[in-house]
Amino acid sequence: MAEAGDKVADRYLLQEPIGRGGMGVVWRAHDELLDRQVAVKCARPDDDRAVARLTNEARNAARLHHPHIVSVFDFVDEGEICWIVMEYVSGGSLADMVRGRVALPPEEAASIGCQIAAALAKSHAEGVVHGDVTPENVLITEDGVAKLTDFGISRALWSEATMTQTGGVRGKPPYLPPEVARGEVADRKSDVFSLGATLYAAIEGRSPYGEASHPMAYVARAIEGYRETPHHAGPLVDALTKLLALEPKRRPAADQAVRLLRRVAPPSPQIEDLEDLEGPHDGDTLDRTPSRCGWCHRPSEGRGAARAAGWSSPRPRWASPRSWWHGPLSSAPGATGAPTRAAAPGRTAGVARPVRPTRRPGRARPAP
C-alpha cells in the first residue's frame, strides 16, 4: 500500500492523503519535474471495478479542457496499481462548504451552479455525460472558482460498452434523476437534474427528496416523482423548478442552465469570464410546454404554506388536464342537460354558462 514519501512514476512525490472512498485514495503530491502541486488518485489494487472506473475517468476527463473542470495531467499504470494525476484544488468541496455554513444564500449557490453548468455544457458538447454531479464532486478554490471533478462513472455517448447495465443504480441516491432511478441510462438531461439537486442541497441543507435513513428510500422517492418544496431558494426558485423537472424533455440543456443561473448570480470575475452562449451547443433544446407537475409539501405544512412559498401543491390524481387548465366542470349529481363551466376566479357568480359543443368541419350527411 502507498505511503507518504513514495514516488509514482519516479516523479510524483506523495505527501498526504486528502480523500478516501470505496474506490481508492486521493493524495496531495509534488510533481518534481514541473515543480507544482498535483492530486494523485489511486485505485484499490484488489478491485478490478475500481481500476476500470479510474481508467474510464482518465479517458473521458482528459479530453475536456475547461476552466471549471479539474484537469487530468497524466495516467500511470504500474501493473499492480494505477494512478491518475490531476490538477490540485486547494479549497474544499461544496459539501464541505455547506457543512461548515449550514446553507448558502441563493445568489452564491447560483454563482457556483452557473460555473458547473458551463462545465457540463463543455462536457456534453464533447459527448461525455458526467453521471455523478453531487456537492462532493464540486470543488471550490480559495478564489471562489467552482470546478467539476470525478468523472469516474461518466460515459461517452458514442461508446456502446458503457451502455450496459450492471444491475445497480449508478450515482448517489440523494441526487439521482427519476429516469436513472427507474433504470434508464443517464444522459445530458440527467446531469442537469443532478446539478439542480446539488444546488437545492446547498440552499436547503438536504436532498430535494427530503431526508431518509436508507439510500433506497431516496431511490423510491425518485421513482415516485416526490420532491419537497424549497423554502430558502428566493430568486433561485424559477431556475430550480426548471432544472428539477421530472420529465427530462422539460429540463433546459446545460448551456441554457448557464443563462438561467446567471440571472440570479451576482457579478463576479468567475461569471464574467464564462462564454456568453447564444444557443444550445450540446444538441438539446428546452421543451417549453407548460409543466403540469407541482412540488410536494410536507403534510404538516398544508397547502397554505406551499402557496405562501410560491409553489403549487401537487395536482390531484383525479384532476383531468381540461379541469387543470380551464377550471372545473360543474356536474352536480342528478343534474341533467349540457355540462356547465364554473365561473372564473374574480368574476361575479351567476348562471353557469353551458359548454358549447365543438363542431367539426366536414361534408353534410346525405339525407336517407
| Active-site amino acid positions | 132
Three cell numbers written together for 225: 416523482
Residue 296: DSSP 8-state:
B
By C-alpha distance, which of 180, 149, 182, 212 is closest to 21?
A: 149
Residue 201 burial (CB count, 10 A): 22
Beta-ladder partners of 14: 29
C-alpha–C-alpha distance, residues 200 and 208, integer Å: 6
Listed in sequence order, the residues at least 6 apart from 137 whose beta carbon sits closer than 8 Å to its beta carbon are 93, 148, 149, 150
By C-alpha distance, which of 198, 228, 175 is closest to 113?
A: 198
Three cell numbers written together for 217: 428510500
Asked if residue 246 lies in contact with residue 208, where contact means CB atoms within 8 angstroms, the answer is: no
Backbone angles phi, psi at 326, to 5 degrees: -120, 10
DSSP 23-37: TEEEEEEEETTTTEE
Q: What kind and span of H or E run contains 73?
A: strand 72-77
Backbone angles phi, psi at 233, to 5 degrees: -75, -30
C-alpha–C-alpha distance, residues 47 and 67, integer Å: 32
Give me the amino acid identity at 240. L
C-alpha–C-alpha distance, residues 38 and 89, integer Å: 8
Residue 226 CB-density burial (10 A; 0-12 exposed, 13-18 middle, 19+ buried): middle
Asked if residue 144 lies in contact with residue 109, where contact means CB atoms within 8 angstroms, the answer is: no
